[in-house]
A = this chain, B = another copy of it.
Amino acid sequence: MKVGCLGELLVEIMRDRVDEPLGVPGIFVGPFPSGAPAIFADCLARLGEEVFFVGAVGNDDFGTLIVERLQKDGVDISGIKRLNDFTTGVAFVTYFSDGSRKFIYHISRAASGQIFPQDVPDNVFLRLDFLHVMGSSMLINDQCREAYLKALKLVKQGGGKVSFDPNFRPELLGKERARELFQPILRESAVVFPTAEEITVLTDESDVDRACAKVLSQGPEIVALKKGKAGSVIYTKDGKWEIPAFPVEEIDPTGAGDCYCAGFLAGLAQGLPLQEVGRLANAVGALAVTKKGPMEGAPTLKEVRDFMARAERREHRC
């Protein structure tokens, strides 16, 4: 399966311990290659699918780290620009023991945000099986959103499908603005990967089941609801399946949702039954949190199969 992605490439610099604010001298670890679409792309390539990426980095050591990582893992990097006049994007992040995070970003005005419609190549996007849309990447700036709209048009025109991870923070974006921006994308999508909060905001339905049913009545074939440590739920017109989580020790939750989406598309590409697709996606998401760094835990197909086989043997023993 050939999948296109578009969006921010950046490095993440994180506090080594929880509850350390960003604004006081202390220890950081990094840089780690990051950016939600980059994590998705890297993971999907490691799972064996063809991935084409449109993005931009600076001509600096951070950019080299990201591009070399994506290339090593098999992402087609021919759509990634290296800019002399812009610096590679950076995200500083710290976690608090209540589960909250705090960020300081250089993205929109850094190389990360220098993505324009002309960077989306017609010949590639007309031939994609899937375009994976990240809501957060559409929010970076106007040119990124326009590039996405061009990509969407090309993919639909070429007969490809759209998968959509809203990945926005309702408290920052505002409900009205979220609906205005993302309802059109939702209706164009075949597969949607929301959280419960996102889907209730986007549909203006407080009940999650009703929200998912509403989405399915508007075009999408599948809603795969991400529930973090509680696993996921798949909704189609034919029913609803709870997919239990794989218990793992969480080291770094960043990127788990992006890896879940990659696992899901890989499962669809393999033609697995939908519940098996969900199981694979849960396993990929679970492995993603077991290593420090946003894309360090992204498994290969062999790693995730071995992990699932071990988990199954444990279940049988119990």
User: Which A residues are within 8 Å of any B CB, using their own CB?
Assistant: 13, 16, 21-32, 58, 60-62, 64-65, 86-88, 90, 102, 104-106, 109-110, 293
Contact = CB atoms under 8 A, between A and B. Distances in A.
* Chain multiplicity (copies): 2
A24 B104 CA distance: 20
B25 A28 contact: no
A88 B22 CA distance: 12
Contacts of A90: 90, 106
A244 to B, nearest CB: 33
A224 to B, nearest CB: 31
Contacts of A16: 27
Interface centre among A16, A23, A32, A102 (most CB of B within 10 A): A23
Given A87-B105, A109-B110, A110-B106, A23 B27 contact: no
B27 A27 contact: yes
Given A13-B13, A90-B106, A104-B62, A26 B25 contact: no
Given A26-B29, A31-B22, A32-B25, A87 B60 contact: no
Per CB-CB distance, the 6 closest pairs between chain A and chain B, nearest first, are A23-B61, A28-B28, A109-B109, A106-B106, A23-B65, A22-B61
A27 B13 CA distance: 9
Nearest to A94: B61
A108 to B, nearest CB: 9
A240 B164 CA distance: 72
Nearest to A68: B23
B61 A104 contact: yes
Contacts of A27: 16, 27-29
Nearest to A88: B104
14 contacts: A23-B31, A23-B62, A23-B65, A25-B32, A27-B27, A28-B29, A58-B104, A60-B104, A86-B109, A87-B105, A106-B106, A106-B110, A109-B109, A109-B110
A104 B87 CA distance: 7
B31 A13 contact: no
Contact of A25 (B29, B58, B102, B105): B29
A318 to B, nearest CB: 37
A308 to B, nearest CB: 28
Given A24-B31, A87-B104, 6 more contacts: A22-B61, A25-B29, A25-B30, A26-B29, A28-B28, A90-B106
Given A13-B13, A106-B106, A24 B87 contact: no
Contacts of A30: 25-26, 28
Nearest to A61: B23
Contacts of A61: 21-23, 102, 104
A58 B27 CA distance: 22
A251 to B, nearest CB: 14
Contacts of A58: 104
Contacts of A64: 23
Interface centre among A28, A105, A293 (most CB of B within 10 A): A28
